[in-house]
Structure 1
Amino acid sequence: MQNVLIVGAGSGGLLLLDLFQNLEFMNVTAIVDTDDHAPGILRAKELGIQYGPDWKVKLTSELHIIFDVTGNESVFTEITNVKPAHTVLIPGSVANLLVRLLQENESYIKRIREEMHKQRLIFDSIDEGMIGIGENGLVDFFNRSASKMTGVPIEEAIGKIVSEIIPLSKLPRVFDSGRSELNRELILGNGIKIVTSRYPLSDHTGKKIGAFAVFKDITEVVALAEEITDLRKVKTMLEAIIHSSDDAISVVDENGYGIMVNPAYTRITGFSEDVVIGHPATADINEGESIHMKVLQTRKPVRGVHMRIGENNREVIVNVAPIIVDRKLRGSVGVIHDITEMRSLMKELDRARTIIRKLESTYTFDDIFGQSSEIKISIEQAKLAATSNLPVLLRGETGTGKELFAHAIHSGSDRKFNKFIRLNCATIHPVSLETELFGQTDGDSQNANMKQSLFKEAENGTLFLDEVNELSLSVQRKLLRYIQEGIIYSTGSERPTKLSVRVIVASSKNLEKALHEGKFDEELYYALNRISIQIPPLRSRKADIPLIIDHLLVKLNQQFGMNVEEITEEAQKWLQQYNWPGNIRELESVLSRAMIYMDSGKVQLELLDVTKSLTSSNQREENPFLHEKSTLTSIMDEYEKTILETALRENDGNKSLTANRLGISLRSLYYKLEKFNLV
């Protein structure tokens, strides 16, 4: 530490004082000036530093440096004569030079600060987000647009690992590779879609010092691009949609002349485009008036009109609506439903449903295989349930065998010689479910009393309702009334019907969550929960897999007419290592696929057979179809769950490695695992 005395408290002395205050190795013991109001004296008063008019009283043996900034040579000479020998005296000329240099330095620093402030204003005013990291992967630059897009405040982002701010960030990769990546699309954690360019940063020696990314929110750009899509492409798309419809579609202009028909129109009516396009709308009618002309006159839609059209005099239902653009009538569009085909399909569907519902229960408790404690508990509970007539709630993941348990309970009860009726509530439209279950009494409907209620069909037997959580609240309350009172009310009737039906329900969903969200009736939940049986997933009883495989091989041999005698121990152990998200149903699918594609004449399933089959089952179809009840949220949840299971399996269950592999925080991983019951 150097002790310093400043003689002269003008602007030069003030600069020296401010400079030394910021240097840890310089200690200003005092500043002297005959002017008690000199700038340096005033600053010394603020800082609590000694000051005064006489420098002589400030001379001590502990003083190392004296700065003379008075500009008075006599003062310099006098100080020289009396200062301690070891004390260095800086003359006024040198001190003034130092002062000038400090002034220039201060000026440069001020300019640099101003430039940095301007640059920061520029960076914060542009729409593009900017983020920079150092060689340690920590964020050292983050502008306002980046904060806005990510939802992370600037002060919280600085100093964090970049993956905590943008989980899928590839900046560390750019730093490691030293190669730029331009115009890459990325979706942020909050769903904002961006396009980003990433650049490595190097100093003048070529040493890598970090990486930098510039990105822009393209959500609005994409939306704008969709709005200004070429009209010709839109027209082509609309024509493709119209031509792909199985319903006949015809379009006429404001004068009633045909301008467009689709192939289904020609198939149903028998009229080609040449006969319709450019001709009046009455050209395809055998009897009755033109609905197109009626709609053009009234400018109102007409729906559900029975007509006969075409050369084959086919009976159809016609819906026609006006086409109004900018409040001007431009024509009308008609959709024709062929009642003949619809009725034929409905008869086939009813016939299939009748066959399925009339199939007798053929499964017993002997068909449930397993020696693990989990499955034994479930079997014992089911056997007890078979001795009573109380409702039973079967719970478990998809594919665990809930329907098998329902069959077994029915077969073990005193109702085993009566019907076992099954209904998957997720496959029937909610509007139709009530009629399916309780029947309908409506003299005005063409379908009145044509369908017997499932409760009536299951009289003295068992009614199994799979995915009971899909029932609407109104149907849930009618089901609750039956459980409590033993009576049902058909739709449209106020007369109760007393029946004796054993009700077994199942659900793969979280009923407590549905109850909390108001989607499941509380009283029904407690009524069903009196006998609740949890069927364990296959992954929690992997020791049972060999027994299940032996049973499935016998079943599949009968189905395929094959004679596969056994599965190798190596293949069996490999199957036991898999977590089976689809449970027994997935295991059966894998074995059946392996048997179908195994070499002809083989009687033993080997490791290669099952690995090929399992890999094939995990691949997505090129043209997948959506389940009737599927939503975008449910599909994305299932896909996310599959990814989590795969990542956990690849990392042997290590949560930290899994989080790093997926580019998310450990906290986010635990949240997702809990969400999908994977903890």
Structure 2
Amino acid sequence: MQNVLIVGAGSGGTNILNLLLNSKFMNVSAIVDIDEQAPGLTIARNLGISHGTDWKPFLTNDVQIVFDVTGEKAVFDELLKNVKMNTLLIPGSVANLLVGLLNENKQFIQKIQTEMYRQRHIFNSIDEGMIGINHEGVIDFINESACTMLEVSDFEAIGKSIFEIIPDSKLVRVLSSGQPEVNDEMILPNGVKIVSSRYPLISAEGETFGAFALFKDMSEMIKLAEEITDLKSVKTMLEAIIHSSDDAISVVDEKGNGILVNPAYTRITGLTEDEVIGKPASVDINEGESIHMKVLKTKKPVRGVNMRIGEDNRDVIVNVAPIIVDQQVKGSIGVIHDITEMRSLMKELDWARQTIRKLESTCTFDDIHGSSADIGLAIDQAKIASKSDIPVMLRGEAGAGKELFANAIHSGSDRKSNKFIRLNCGAIDPAVIEKEIFGENVEQDPGKSLRAGLLEEAGKGTLFLDEVTSLPLSVQSRLLEYFVSQYSSESARIIVASSKNLEKAIHEGTFNMDFYYMLTRLSIRIPPLRTRKTDIPEVALHLLKKLNQEFGMNVERLSEEAIRRLQSYEWPGNVRELENVLSRAMIFMKHGSDVIGEEDIRRSLFTNEVKAGEDVLPEKSTLASVMDDYERTVLEKALDEHDGNKSLTANRLGISLRSLYYKMEKYKLI
């Protein structure tokens, strides 16, 4: 390293000082200037470099280079006389030229480094893996995506033979042939499937000096293909649903021109697709404004509008909602209800709701609502039950939520990935219920093929036996034997429920005492709704959200008066009855309203709390007709409470099964 003396600490000397501070080959031994406040001297003081106002003391034999940047000829002449033979004296003009060249060189290097960094950033940012080799087959570049797919670092890969990293690589073949290979499938050493394209690197003289490959993880492509397939399936399914719906449906684009109608729309309006598609939304209106255009303008749904449409001038109720994508209105969809068909549509809706409930086989503890102490205790007990395999007894009135608890226990257990099967023991013929649970035995029925029972079908899942008191004693005994000899974590877990008095059933001889003690090792009592009326607002809000989805409505809340009316009722049918009341209230609501009022609840409740003068007789005012209407209502309510079970309904009403069938036929309920 050579020692340097700088004479002159102005701007020129300061530039040379800063330049030499980063040099690995030159050391600034001292810097001098007659001005003690010169900027170069200030830097020297801060860095501990020798400095002064006279250069003579610093011009020693150890100094190999002297920079004169004073610009004074006299100073240069005196320096020239005093420097040793082996010391190089550089005048200011040359020094400044050197500084300029070095600065330009530095800027050029920085520009190259910036460009290299930018290209390297782009190189590492692409999703495709990239790897290159030289003419000897040695890896000389690799990007981060390739490192990720190959599970190596660039430090491990660069400088290694391509065959050390990818034994089956075909890059060397491209290096030899000079011909590209495109979209070749292969498997990397770690099992990742890729699609690779390989290209030779050819110089300006036409010589191949290397090769590189671009490759992409096929799992991403497969995932994308599956997503596209799923989207097509969803589109096909939605179109099938729309076209199979008995509700008339019309869809318009953001300009209000028709883009889709279903056959029910054609049936109600009498207009074909050709008469609607591409035409303004008002084409089907005989009386009233276009709700589609109103929704497109306001970007808000409009519900329950009475209109007259179609060639037959039919009275309909229209619900229209905007289609919003990325916060932009892309069109609107309208559902048209023919009022003359409303009664049949409501029956179909009830059937759809029951179907949805049956299909919803998974519920969790989050689906059980209420903050009262009684329901909290039941939930805590159920959570404990979910962590064990012993049988569980759920006790509570009809409609209190026993099946919901059973489902939540299953979902919270280790068996949640297996089946949850429900069997209403009261709805099955006692003569066949044993085969239903245990299956048919070939030895007992040689002429029939073996059929698995629900215990076997459930596998390691859960079998829920509702209304267990309806089981014949023989089946109870066989289940007791199953608990004693076969019940384990490898067999189906059994949860039972009853709305009956088990102790009374034992006393009457219809329930096995040992079976009772086996089931009640873990017994959970689900409180009726009337004992936890503080939970009604929370439960009602949850049910409201559920019914909004089922009905395609947007009811936001219940009024305070409606809540108080609900809390004043005793709820013999519990949560199930509350759901039915809310669903009827949503039907009774005024068109365009989004709040259920007290009047809607009053009309929906089936109660004996009728005050004098509160209601007037309907138009069909004979006593016999009024009694018939009321009897039909009671029958419908009782059947609904017992999920259509005829035996339980007859017992609940205190009539014979034969009388029940007679009345159901009379009121066309079968």
Using the size of structure 2 for normalisation, the TM-score is 0.39
Q: TM-score, normalised by structure 1?
A: 0.38
